[in-house]
Structure 1
C-alpha cells in the first residue's frame, strides 16, 4: 500500500487531529496544501464524484457561514467553478489512496479502503469539520478568503 495523500488547510487543528489518527493506524501520509494546489476540474472532480453538490463545500468557510455562498442553490458546474476559484470553500480533507478519492474525513469510508491491519479506531467525537478549540492555532482562520 502506498502513501495516503492528504490535502489539508495548513494550520487547521481538525486536519492535524485527523493526521494523528491516520498515523496511529500505521499509515504513511503525504501531506499537501489544499489551498496551494493548482486545482483543475479534472483533478478535483474525482474527490467530489457521487456526492451531492452541497456536500462538496466546507460548511465552516466564512462565505458559506455568512450566506454569501449557498451550496444548496448551486448546480454541479457552478459549484465546481466556484471551488476552483476559491479553494477555501472545498470540504476537507481531500484524501487519495491509490485510485480512491474522498472528500471529508469519513472513518467508515476510509476503513472500507484500508487493509485490516491499518483500520482506524472509531473516534469518540466526530473528526470531520472544523472544531475550534484547544488545538486550533492562530492560523486556523487564515488565509482569509479573497473578497470578490
Structure 2
C-alpha cells in the first residue's frame, strides 16, 4: 500500500476528521506536524500548484481572520517567505502522494489522484476549514471535539 504524507496542525479536530475519512478509504497515512516541519521554499511551493496565492493561506490564522494580513495582496515569493516565518499561515492539510501535492481537503481531487480502495462520502461544507465545535458528524463517522 502506498503511503500518503499528511501535514497537519496537531490537535486540530478538522484534521483528525480528514485523517479518519482518508483511512476509511484504505489509505495509509504518514502524519507530520505542519508547524514544526523544517520547511524551505522549494519544499513548500509544490503543494500550492496553480492555485491563486490567496488560496494558499489558512483563513482561520489569526493574522488573516482579524484583517492584519491580506493574502490577495501578496506575491508568491512574499507568501512563501511569510509562511516559512509563520507556518500557522499555511492552509492545511498539506498532502503528498508520490509526485502529487495538494493543499486543503478537496475530496473530488483526492478521489481522482489518490489510490483509494473505498469511496469518499459526499463532501461536507466544513471539511476544508477549521472546526471549532465540540464534535462533527459526517455520514456514519463521528469525531469527538477536543
Structure-1-length-normalised TM-score: 0.87
Q: Give unmatched runs, 5+ long, in structure 2.
A: 136-144
- Taking the aligned partners of 1:116 and 1:40, their CA distance within structure 2 comes to 29
Q: 1:77 to 1:30 in 2, by over 3 A?
A: same
- The correspondence of residues 1-148 of structure 1 with structure 2, limited to 5 A, is 1-115=1-115, 117-135=117-135, 136-137=145-146
Extract structure 1 runs of 4+ deviating beyond 6 A: none
Q: Give unmatched runs, 5+ long, in structure 1.
A: 138-148
Quick check: 2:27–2:116 contact (8 Å CA) kept in 1? no
- Taking the aligned partners of 1:11 and 1:39, their CA distance within structure 2 comes to 20
Post-superposition Cα deviations, 1:65-84, rounded to whole Å, max 9, x if no partner, equal 11111101111111110011
Q: 1:100 to 1:132 in 2, by over 3 A?
A: same
Structure-2-length-normalised TM-score: 0.89
How far is 1:105 from its partner? 0.2
RMSD in angstroms over aligned alpha carbons? 1.3
Question: What corresponds to 2:138 in structure 1?
Answer: none
- Taking the aligned partners of 2:68 and 2:86, their CA distance within structure 1 comes to 13
- Taking the aligned partners of 1:112 and 1:48, their CA distance within structure 2 comes to 17
Normalized per residue, the structure richer in strand is 2
